[in-house]
Chains A and B, each alone.
Chain A
Amino acid sequence: MASSDVARQPDKGVRPLSLAGHVGFDSLPDQLVNKSICQGFCFNILCIGETGIGKSTLMDTLFNTNFENFESSHFEPQVKLRAQTYDLQESNVRLRLTVVNTVGFGDQMNKQESYQPVVDYIDRQFESYLQEELKIKRSLHNYHDSRVHACLYFISPSGHSLKSLDLVTMKKLDSKVNIIPVIAKADTISKSELHKFKIKIMSELVSNGVQIYQFPLDDETVAKVNTTMNGHLPFAVVGSTEEVCVGNKMVKARQYPWGVVQVENENHCDFVKLREMLICVNMEDLREQTHTRHYELYRRCKLEEMGFKDTDPECKPVSLQQTYEAKRQEFLVELQKREDEMRQMFVQRVKEKEAELKEAERELQSRFEQLKRLHADEKAALEEKKRLLDEDQSSFSKRRAAAQLLQAQSLTANGKKDKDRKNSGFM
């Protein structure tokens, strides 16, 4: 990447100088190019679209390889993202390509949160780059940049307009990634319908404030072709990895009973335009836009969230060092306060527990006393009863003894009487 990302403006204090001969710094761009070629390039594409709409096939067709993707099921409970990295080479240029596909997008019954996993993925890539940037010991030039550079959004070819899911998702993504909408499976739309469809889609995007990626017009060498291409958005594509014999050549095409749709025929679909714009002309610009616009926006939001500011309340520029110190102090103070709070709470709790335990002890004691008293009472009552019983018993035995005595006496008296009578009878 070039060292200065902003356009050069004429500085007031610097005077232009004309050279007397050839110095040789016009080779700077070549040196840069050589360095980049040695380093290799890296590009990350995100493909969002419903299951079965042709994302993997289009990637295979674009990069002329077989990325070995398998069919996903329609019954995924949630939207997931699947990222795969490949190393490709064309002449002496090496490209590390990462293709991220959505899995299960648009299949759920409730699609209101379908965009969230995608947004989270993009943010995660930004976050890891930010972390790397903020490290003390960092190695940015070795860092494998996984930020999403381009997002191909696959629109279902209904022929009428965008779906509500499309609109909602693109609105959430337009400030995070370069969106390039494409009309998938375009061999089901006739030319006249396609023209109307494209106009409808673009007008819906504009009226809802969705900012899709516009091919850059500031570079004169490509401005003309980019302007034309901007007018053909969204591209209506057809993908195919099968080859059919047309004329005397084998071309990538789809064979129908009524004709053959040739992928690279500009009359049949916009595949060639997409390939040119995405890969041949604007790949570097996509990477640049991702870094200077989307990533910077993310970084700014994130840092502001954390409390960093560029200027302090008196509008004087604040250096990062000061901010760090201020933050650190704040943090320590906060920590101390928390510790004190916790200590307080701990002491409070202990006191409460003690009081509770004391209360419980007192209660137990009183209960014990109560029980003791009860026992004593009962014991006394029992003693009383025993005494009464003994008395009863003794009086009963006395009476019994008296009764026996009486009986014995009366018996002897009766015996004497009988004897007397007997005796008297005899006489």
Chain B
Amino acid sequence: MDAIMLQEKLVERLLCPRVRTARQKEKQYVGFATLPNQVHRKSVKKGFDFTLMVAGESGMGKSTLVNSLFLTDLYKDRKLLNAEERINQTVEIIKHTVDIEEKGVKLKLTIVDTPGFGDACLEDWKPITDYIDQQFEQYFRDESGLNRKNIQDNRVHCCLYFIPPFGHGLRPVDVEFMKALHEKVNIIPLIAKADCLTPNEIKKLKDRIREEIDKFGIKVYQFPECDSDEDEEFKQLDKELKECTPFAVIGSNTVVEARGQRVRGRLYPWGIVEVENQSHCDFVKLRNMLIRSHMHDLKDVTCDVHYENYRAQCIQEMTSKLAQDNRMESPIPILPLSTPDVDTEKLIKMKDEELKRMQEMLNKMQQQMHEKDQ
């Protein structure tokens, strides 16, 4: 099988995981095997939302890539600053929200842009970390409020970080920025403008970056491990995909004619770079990972890991403050505490149990889906 077919097979596998080979005895029909369908129907009706943050220096091709990923033009009337205006520029946060629909599935997509990053002579990205924390805080308040009907989830689910391809690896600003964010948001590092690197150079740079990420202890988003009972071919594909990170991407706003077809690409005097050609860049891999297979996992990790960390930390701080200053009213309903440590532990335990229960439920549902497929 050639690369494209393998890729498609992988997508299929990821969407509907492979079932166990052992079959169970036919039981009497109860009916809860339709649960997955019900979930599907309800989710289509409810619609999905996703918040994606893009960060990186100006001119790395962030906007072009977002346009290429979602096949729209989100940045119609953008005004770029001149060099002298950027000398003392601070980082801004700009949100673009669009509603897109495909085959009846609605997606409310929010792109959080960070113009000004890396522009000024003195690096400062506090506005970015503050924004992420603010979204967590907002959700925390909403979740702890009395009326929880229409909670809007504005938490940042994923951050695409664009690493310039012109250097020898990560730069200090890349390391520091990723370290400031790796426990707040899922970071996916990308090598931007990959059409300035030959295949050898790309491999060298990827190895270098992976090494440095390990060396500096940066926790980037890890694709979940595939089940141990998958077949070798699938495991091999999965391994290859993981070794391809960080993805080297190219974006394009223009459509050119190549090999008799109209494709998104960049026209050069020496050739045409096709964005969706797997031998030219990893754009297709990124798109599949980000949108077609792992979008929901990114949301889950944000909810279960990053948000929970934030919440636990927040509660701990609040209860320790309350113990010191008994007059302070807490904005959220928490139990009156004797000693801070015991109670936060209790809360954490409670949340852990809840998580375990949810996990069990999910596992059960997955099993049922397997059975149904069989």
Contact = CB atoms under 8 A, between A and B. Distances in A.
Interface in A169-215: 184-185, 187-188, 190-191, 204, 207-208
A260 B60 CA distance: 23
Interface residues of B, number: 43
A73 B212 CA distance: 12
A111 interface: yes
A260 B57 CA distance: 28
B83 A166 contact: yes
Nearest to A171: B84
Given A74-B172, A161-B83, A112 B270 contact: no
Contact of B121 (A54, A75, A112, A262): A112
Nearest to B174: A74
A257 B279 contact: yes
Contacts of A256: 195, 198-199, 270-271, 273
Interface string B157-197: 00000001111111111001000000000000000010110
Given A257-B199, A258-B274, A268-B269, A74 B168 contact: yes
A271 to B, nearest CB: 14
B54 to A, nearest CB: 15
A323 interface: no
Nearest to B212: A74
Contacts, number: 133
Task: Give the interface SS of chain A, mostly helix, strand, loop or mixed.
Answer: loop
Contacts of A260: 270-271
Contact of A168 (B80, B121, B169): B121
- By size class, the interface of chain A is 35 or more
Interface stretch (A45-53, A80-88, A345-353): A45-53
A160 B80 contact: yes
Nearest to A74: B171
Interface stretch (A102-110, A223-231, A393-401): A102-110
Contact of A109 (B83, B86, B167, B173): B173
A186 to B, nearest CB: 9
Interface stretch (A116-124, A151-159, A374-382): A151-159
Interface in B50-97: 57-60, 80, 82-84, 86-87, 89
Nearest to A165: B121
Interface in A28-77: 50-54, 71-75
20 contacts: A51-B168, A53-B167, A72-B168, A73-B168, A74-B167, A74-B168, A109-B172, A109-B173, A109-B176, A112-B122, A114-B121, A164-B119, A167-B83, A167-B84, A187-B270, A190-B267, A208-B83, A256-B270, A257-B199, A261-B268
Interface in A253-267: 254-262, 267
A421 interface: no
B272 interface: yes
A109 to B, nearest CB: 5
A105 to B, nearest CB: 11
A163 interface: yes
B87 A255 contact: no
Contact of B172 (A75, A156, A184, A255): A75
Residue of A73, A190, A208 contacting most chain B CB atoms (<10 Å): A190
B128 to A, nearest CB: 15
A257 B248 CA distance: 14
A168 B59 contact: no
Contacts of B58: 158, 160, 163
